Chain A
Amino acid sequence: MILSVEDLRVSFATDGGVVRAVDGVSFELAEGEILAVVGESGSGKSVTAQTVLGLTRAPNTTITGTVRFDGRDLTELDDKGLREVRGERIAMIFQDPMTSLNPVYRVGDQIVEMIRAHRKVSKREARQSAVELLNSVGIPNPERRVHHYPHEFSGGMRQRVMIAMALALDPDVLIADEPTTALDVTVQAQILRLLQKLNTERGLAVVLITHDLGVVAEIADRVAVMYAGQIVEDASLADIFYDPQHPYTWGLLGSIARLDEDRPTRLAQIAGQPPSLLNPPTGCRFAARCPHAFDKCSEPPPLDGDRCWLTPEDKRRLRDVDGRIGLRKAVTS
């Protein structure tokens, strides 16, 4: 395991109370693996990723648990220690490539600065690597493009610049937080291909944070489904799509309007909204929206495997909605 997160808890003190954004998250990332973390807005997927790199540290934040990487606990490293990990070993790219690049510096200079902050190389050598990096992520005319400003690039090209910068120090792990969400589908396909290529050719391990199950199906090896600050299910790609255990996963799968299916009857929607993380329920956090909830669901769900009290037989029976996986509105008698 190259990265292992254990019982991570992140809470923010706000005027309204303590928000438990991440509440007991554990997962492992194997070398060369693509792990997708799926969840809706506010489920804690971005906070989890940012905490791995120490980006959520602030006076109002409380972080407990461990993030093991290469024999060290990243939550205990100081700023200097973190700098040696960030970029060098674990790199990160974000959803909006425009706000992650400095608009008043040429992209070449930004890559050079980043390389020279970590490596003792001349400006000339760094610039040469910048050109090579831009070339490796598929940017045409890299010799000319290093002199351009971020606004001269399209969204897809900017995301390629971000990826080039992330690869500059040859990291082992890339954390990609919704890398294609701001992009058009044809450009998204290009970026996903690129990530896949880097994964196979360089053995780059990827934590991909996304809300799009189509993107997950396209490139992930394993999937962790997050809901209200917790991972409710963590399984192989095939199991998540063909043998999902948690009713929330069923609901997610059922509520997608699919491209490859003709107008079906109704989408299997999930009623209601996620609970407030100011004061989350002690039992199963999905119980209030789950049509299959029963007495036991008011107790904290099991920690091993999926967080659901239903028996495996019940699950197989209940998740079938007209031959597809979905979340039934009410249990039919």
Chain B
Amino acid sequence: MTAPLLEVTDLVKHFPIKSGIIVDREVATVKAVDGVSLTIGEGETLGLVGESGCGKSTLSRTIMQLTTPTSGSVRFGGEELVGRSRRTMRPLRRQMQMIFQDPYASLNPRKRVGQIIGEPMELHGIATGRDVTARVRELLDRVGLQPEHAERYPHEFSGGQRQRIGIARALALKPKLIIADEPVSALDVSVQAQIINLLEDLQAELGLAYLFVAHDLGVVRHVSDRVAVMYLGRIVEMTTATALYEKPLHPYSNALLSAVPIPDPKLNFERERLVLEGDVPSPIDPPSGCHFHTRCPWSTEVCDVDDPVLEELLDGHVAACHHPRNLAELS
């Protein structure tokens, strides 16, 4: 078996909370990412879901080395990224690009679209002068915009069009992996569909791998080969999209899926629902044992004291739970 494109092992990112005026004491830490391991193969899409504050965005930024991990390893194409200098990071960063949630905040308002897409190419020395212009026009065309849009400024575009510009910028360096952090959540449904279709076409054509971070479980099921579910800084379940949505093992995945209303009144009415009580606990002081036990309808004493490990309960289906669901009927 060849090495996966991206291999993340025991990645940890803790943010210190400091207090005090003269002596900067560290009073607590936010355990935003707390020991995450995952792999993404070439041309594969891994969906990453979880509620706000579960650490999905921090995880993607830490994988990109946009924030320095506290510990752990990130290997891209077999090469370790953690601990690299900016200079030695650069050739690798070219191969992994990011698309952001807010197409209004992620494009420089004072630059023309042509500059926004063209500059990374010049910086990385993969094109110069007229080649840049030609490639920008080609990219704009590829993402469904007009080549003459290169002369315009971001404010002249709608949200969906801006997201297309963000995608063109990410594609400019011919990356192998694109980390998309909530790429469609700021868009209207009809525009969402356009962007999702575009991302899928590009994947088929260019063999891109995606880490697709989103809170919309419907969108994630649609685009992902495999899906990881995060809760309070940890992955609690990871498997193929179909397995997760048909037979989720972890109670949290069950609750999350059951909370999403289905746009079909009859099915929605017939479906059994599990409504969780309360909110997500704080990642500063996560619950003991299994982080989810405070909200879990099936928790027992063991969940309170013993932290379950992420283990392979079924073929290619990992979950961290003492009382997994849907297991009996499967075996």
Contacts and interface: CB of A to CB of B under 8 A. Distances in A.
Interface of A: 40-41, 154, 156-157, 184-190, 192-193, 211-218, 237-238, 241, 251-264, 266-271, 273
A169 B61 CA distance: 47
A26 B244 CA distance: 44
Interface residues of B, number: 45
B259 interface: yes
Contacts of B190: 40, 251-252, 255, 269-270
B279 A214 contact: no
Contact of A257 (B52, B218, B267, B276): B218
Contacts of B245: 259-260, 262
Given A154-B279, A186-B255, A238-B265, A269 B260 contact: no
A39 to B, nearest CB: 9
Interface of B: 51-52, 158-160, 188-194, 196-197, 200, 215-219, 221-223, 241-242, 245, 255-265, 267-268, 273, 275-277, 279-280
A210 to B, nearest CB: 10
B268 A217 contact: yes
B257 to A, nearest CB: 7
A258 B193 CA distance: 11
Nearest to B267: A260
Nearest to B282: A154
B222 A267 contact: yes
Given A241-B264, A251-B190, A262-B242, A267 B51 contact: no
16 contacts: A186-B256, A187-B279, A188-B259, A189-B275, A211-B188, A214-B260, A214-B263, A217-B261, A217-B265, A241-B263, A257-B192, A257-B193, A260-B245, A267-B222, A269-B190, A273-B191
Nearest to A236: B265
Given A218-B261, A261-B221, A268-B193, 9 more contacts: A185-B215, A189-B258, A214-B263, A255-B192, A257-B216, A258-B221, A259-B257, A263-B223, A263-B241
Interface centre among A40, A251, A258, A264 (most CB of B within 10 A): A258
Interface centre among B160, B215, B217, B265 (most CB of A within 10 A): B265
Given A217-B265, A257-B216, A40 B259 contact: no
A155 B318 CA distance: 31
A213 B241 CA distance: 22
Contacts of A213: 189, 263
B268 A259 contact: no
A262 B227 CA distance: 13
A79 B204 CA distance: 59
B197 A269 contact: yes
B193 A269 contact: yes
Given A186-B259, A211-B189, A214-B260, A259 B280 contact: no
CB-based closest 7 A-B pairs: A214-B261, A255-B193, A257-B222, A269-B193, A40-B188, A270-B190, A267-B193
